[in-house]
Amino acid sequence: MPIGEFGRPPEMPAEVSPSMTAPMYWMYEMAQASLNPARAITDATRMLFQNPLNPWAHTELGKSVAAGCELFERTTRRYAKPEWGLHETEVNGVRTPIEIRSVWEKPFCRLLHFDRMHTRPLRVPQQRLLLVAPMSGHYATLLRGTVEAFMPTHDVYITDWSDARMVPVAEGRFDLDDFVDYLIEMLHVLGGNVHVIAVCQPSVPLLAAVSVMEAERDPYVPLSMTLMGGPIDTRKNPTAVNNLAAERGTDWFRNNVITKVPFPHPGVMRDVYPGFLQLNGFISMNFDRHMKAHKSLFENLVKGDGDLVDKHRDFYDEYLAVMDLTAEYYLQTVDLVFVKHALPEGEMTHRGRLVEPSKITRVALMTIEGEKDDISGLGQTEAAHALCTSIPNNRRTHYVQKDVGHYGVFNGSRFRSEIVPRINDFMQSNARQPA
């Protein structure tokens, strides 16, 4: 999430009042609407100067005009939810088509199944894997590479969180307790015999959900849980993002970044932490890097370097697509995880009942961290082992991946070549629960 996940809230003076925050979303919508004519004209100009029948299209000036028009269009666009773009995978050396189906749905989430359409049954059935995507501003498609890496060896499911501005107020609230309830319901739907991986922020609610299920001796607890770059205890090696939450406190975020969804979105009048504010925070953390990337885009468009242009488009189509978070979920997470440290302090509750990770006995635990993670510092995820005292030592492990940051923990070449094989081995060795 923007606190403890991929970015931070925009810098605002402490004296900004709620009266300034409340109409923020409405002003943003008006600004977007006012840009539409300029964007239409710019797009038409781009097509004119890219038309091979136009002699100017083959000149340095013409290419520069077209590149500038595309740059303007891309930097003023509101990016929609990306497509998964996963159509096939390779299972045991056989190319296998994929059908993405929703197998469970509630107002704030769908459970998607990447159903591999085998032409013949597998000799040895592969294990099922539930990926818990972060509800952190970006869509679940941010884990496209994670899904792709596990599909050849596992039957993969993923949580597809909804954009809060698309959920009507009549559907009710969604907070951290609801997040835990959703995870428990999904595990019940899957019926046990499943491994779970929580990527980043959902490490806390997953650990809470498994703790609640173990306390009730629920038969549908997962076989194993893997926590990757999660903020279990942000007091360990706190990062700048962690310190920001501790310094500002929950009330500052409530007064400065929470606003209401405007008409005509289905979630009109719902209190949210809007995606455009989150995007401001994402970009402000590495502003110079983003400026250089867009300068390079302009230069590559003029040169006609299609490969580099496509890489830029693919990355930013995903990175700039953001969703709104419900205010109650965001504020409760900031308060309990980053300000009060409720889980490691032994004070976290779910529906009024104490969350006790020490009750976990049947679920194997793996934690993974990135050596250069500047969002969830080293030791923050490993702290889960100190809380889960009843898990036998032979059913737990911790791994630190060298030379990767936060994003590299769950995506990229080192993730595929070094982290995925270790997770596969861990899940395979814990394919059965102890009696």
| pLDDT at residue number 4 | 41
Rg (CA), the chain: 23
pLDDT, tens digit (0-9, with 9 covering 90-100), for 346-396: 999 999 999 999 999 999 999 999 998 888 889 999 999 999 999 999 999
Does 295 lie in the same domain as 194?
Answer: yes
The total number of structural domains that make up the chain: 2
| pLDDT at residue number 14 | 44
Q: How many H helices and E strands in the chain?
A: 14, 14
> Of 41, 76, 111, which marks where a domain is finished?
76
pLDDT, tens digit (0-9, with 9 covering 90-100), for 138-180: 899 999 999 999 999 999 999 999 999 999 999 999 999 999 9
| pLDDT at residue number 27 | 87
| Cα separations in angstroms, 388 against 38, 196, 225, 393, 427 | 57, 16, 12, 10, 18
| pLDDT at residue number 435 | 62
> What would the mean pLDDT of 116-139 be, rounded to a whole number?
89
Using the predicted structure, report yes or no on whether residue 431 has a pLDDT greater than 70: yes
Using the predicted structure, report yes or no on whether residue 242 has a pLDDT greater than 80: no
Does 192 lie in the same domain as 62?
Answer: no
- Would you place residue 327 in the very low, low, confident or very high pLDDT band (cuts 50, 70, 90)? very high
| pLDDT at residue number 256 | 84
Using the predicted structure, report yes or no on whether residue 21 has a pLDDT greater than 60: no
> What would the mean pLDDT of 43-51 be, rounded to a whole number?
91
The H or E element containing residue 97 is strand 94-106
Total residue length of the chain: 435
| pLDDT at residue number 249 | 80
> What would the mean pLDDT of 37-57 be, rounded to a whole number?
91
> What would the mean pLDDT of 111-121 be, rounded to a whole number?
91
Distance of CA 160 to the CA centre of its chain: 10
Percent with pLDDT over 90 in the chain: 66
| pLDDT at residue number 5 | 46
Percent with pLDDT over 70 in the chain: 95
Distance of CA 109 to the CA centre of its chain: 13
> What would the mean pLDDT of 276-280 be, rounded to a whole number?
85
**Domain membership flag for residue 6:** no
Does 224 lie in the same domain as 98?
Answer: yes
CB-count exposure of residue 275 (10 Å: 0-12, 13-18, 19+): buried
- Would you place residue 16 in the very low, low, confident or very high pLDDT band (cuts 50, 70, 90)? very low
Looking at every residue in the chain, the average pLDDT score rounds to 89
| pLDDT at residue number 22 | 57
pLDDT, tens digit (0-9, with 9 covering 90-100), for 226-238: 999 999 999 998 8
Does 194 lie in the same domain as 50?
Answer: no
Range 235-240 contact pairs with CB under 8 angstroms and sequence separation of 24 or more? 235/341, 235/344, 236/377, 236/378, 236/379, 236/380, 236/382, 236/383, 237/377, 237/378, 237/379, 237/380, 238/377, 239/373, 239/374, 239/375, 239/376, 239/377, 240/8, 240/374
**Domain membership flag for residue 13:** no
**Domain membership flag for residue 85:** no
Instruction: Report the alpha-carbon distance of residue 296 to residue 202 in Å, rounded.
Output: 35
| pLDDT at residue number 334 | 92
CATH code of the domain in which 339 resides: 3.40.50.1820
Does 65 lie in the same domain as 99?
Answer: no
- 138 secondary structure, DSSP code: B
In this structure, the number of other CB atoms found within 10 A of the CB of residue 399 comes to: 16
**Domain membership flag for residue 87:** no
Instruction: Report the alpha-carbon distance of residue 192 to residue 92 in Å, rounded.
Output: 25
C-beta separation of 8 from 241 below 8 A: yes
Domain that holds residue 38: 21-76
> What would the mean pLDDT of 269-296 be, rounded to a whole number?
86
Does 321 lie in the same domain as 250?
Answer: yes
- Would you place residue 93 in the very low, low, confident or very high pLDDT band (cuts 50, 70, 90)? confident
Does 165 lie in the same domain as 37?
Answer: no
Instruction: Name the 3-class secondary structure at 89.
Output: strand
